[in-house]
């Protein structure tokens, strides 16, 4: 019986050719270009996050105002103060005008004055009711506009950051994909022959 068997040995070989001098120089240039940008990313991200938080607070404030308006029907304080001031001035002006007219005719007594005040009060209430709905619609529209603007500005912070660092991310993604390739293989030689 013959026993045979030759010898064998294995060797690990690189499957890809080594990078050329030009490719190595290009990689070095790209690394030198993108490395400072990578160092800046953390600070820029922190600033974008801080600004986005400010816009988030603006959104929350506007949303809270809209929720309060919807739930309670109460107009914002500044708006009601302005409306009340306008109505009061208009009522005082009308009352003064009526009193002057009646006084000029010599018909100024408690009955006429009482009727004039009641009529002015009724007209004022009607005007307020009509203007309330307009003010309500304007206030809710303004809150919606504020929320929309804050939401867009908030997301724009991250869109700007993404656009600014897109080349850096693409470069490191390409480098990573290149590094993840299986680069070496084991070759087994039989009978001492290559």
CB 158 within 8 A of CB 48: yes
Q: Which pLDDT value is given to residue 143? A: 93
Q: Which pLDDT value is given to residue 148? A: 94
Domain boundaries, the chain: 8-190
Question: Across-strand partners of 190?
Answer: 8
CA torsion angle 191 192 193 194 (round to 10): 120
User: How many residues does the structure list for the chain?
Assistant: 194
Question: Across-strand partners of 187?
Answer: 11
User: pLDDT by residue for the chain (194 residues), tens digit each?
Assistant: 444 556 766 666 666 666 667 777 777 877 787 788 888 888 888 888 898 899 999 999 999 999 998 898 888 888 888 887 877 777 777 776 767 676 667 666 777 677 777 777 777 777 777 778 888 888 999 999 999 999 999 888 888 888 888 888 887 777 777 665 666 656 666 655 55
Q: Which pLDDT value is given to residue 115? A: 76
Name the CA radius of gyration of the chain, rounded.
40
* 70 alpha-carbon distance from chain centroid: 23
């Amino acid at each position: 019986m013959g026993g045979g068997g030759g010898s064998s040995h294995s060797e690990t070989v690189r499957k890809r050719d080594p990078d050329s001098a030009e490719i190595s120089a290009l990689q070095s240039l790209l690394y030198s270009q993108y490395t400072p940008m990578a160092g800046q990313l953390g600070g820029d991200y922190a600033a974008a996050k801080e600004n986005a938080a400010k816009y988030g607070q603006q959104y929350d404030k506007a949303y809270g105002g809209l929720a309060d308006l919807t739930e309670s029907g109460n107009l914002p304080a500044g708006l009601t103060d302005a409306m009340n001031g306008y109505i009061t001035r208009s009522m005082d002006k009308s009352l003064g005008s009526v009193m002057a007219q009646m006084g000029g005719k010599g018909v100024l007594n408690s009955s006429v004055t009482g009727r004039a005040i009641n009529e002015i009060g009724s007209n004022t209430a009607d005007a307020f009711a009509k203007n309330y709905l307009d003010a309500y619609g304007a206030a809710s529209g303004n809150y919606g506009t504020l929320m929309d603007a804050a939401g867009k500005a908030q997301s724009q912070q991250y869109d700007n950051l993404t656009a600014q660092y897109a080349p850096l991310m693409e470069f490191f993604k390409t480098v990573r994909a290149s590094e993840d390739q299986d680069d070496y293989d084991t070759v087994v030689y039989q009978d001492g022959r290559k």
